Amino acid sequence: MNNFAVSISNNYIIFAVQHTQMILDTFFPNRCIHCNRIIDADLLVCSLCFEQIHFTHFNYFKDNPVKEKCKLLFPVENTFSLMQFEEENLSRKIIHELKYRNREKTGKIIADWVTEQLDFEDQKPDLMVSVPLHPKKLKERGYNQLHLFTETLSDFYKIPFDHDLITRNHYSKAQALKDKRHRLETKNDFSITKNITGKHILLIDDVFTTGNTLSTIAWEILKAGDNKISVLVMAVDV
């Protein structure tokens, strides 16, 4: 195939993709997950509903509710939560869209919101590590809800990430479906897969509830060598 034919073929593909998107936008427009208004394809909520999101505005370097909770469980450097995770509020709906309604791209949107509020200044962590899913759960869901979120942050802040540093050893039902007693049962649930020492690790999760999952992972990393832990979550259950 000559260059002219290749060019025609590529232009046709671009046209077909754009035409398909126009049809989808016309007959299946993107809608605000809260009020159902039609919104741009790359948005999650409309501008009016965006104002209803309970952002925390925590300072990563100062004491905040996440840091206070973490300090009761493991040594922690700095912490940040983007939103408050309260009963029936919009942040809960946003994260449920991400985790349970096959909207992986929501992770990028939430990450973009984080970049507008979080400044590491000159104290960036060395590595980003998100809470892993068990392979069976990953197959069921089709994606880890934290991966695109973490990768978007990694690209913005120029901090590397490692999705394989931690593995989940046991399959379990979703945290949201567990009672409080069973949420505390995470002993031996995670393993570290690589030698790592002398690193400042930023642990990433979606919602901070009991903190037990992050604590279990943090201690695995701390035991592995002279490492430090900071925490970033999408929302904290206050």
What would the pLDDT profile of 130-180 be if each residue is shown by its tens digit?
Answer: 999 999 999 999 999 999 999 999 999 999 999 999 999 988 765 555 555
Q: How confident is the model at residue 21 (pLDDT cuts 50, 70, 90)?
A: very low
CATH topology assigned to domain 50-236 = Rossmann fold (3.40.50)
Q: With 90 as the cut, is the pLDDT of residue 233 above it?
A: yes
Q: Which residue has the higher pLDDT, 128 or 171?
A: 128
Say how many C-beta atoms besides its own lie within 10 A of residue 107's C-beta: 26
142: alpha, beta or left? (left if phi > 0; alpha if psi -120 to 50): left
Domain extents in the chain: 50-236
Q: With 80 as the cut, is the pLDDT of residue 29 above it?
A: yes
What is the distance between the alpha carbons of residues 8 and 4, in angstroms, rounded to a whole number? 6
How does strand 166-168 pair with strand 190-192? antiparallel
Average pLDDT over residues 198-224: 96
What is the distance between the alpha carbons of residues 238 and 232, in angstroms, rounded to a whole number? 15
Report the percent of the chain where pLDDT is more than 90. Answer: 76
pLDDT at site 2: 62
* Confidence (pTM): 0.83
Q: With 90 as the cut, is the pLDDT of residue 17 above it?
A: no
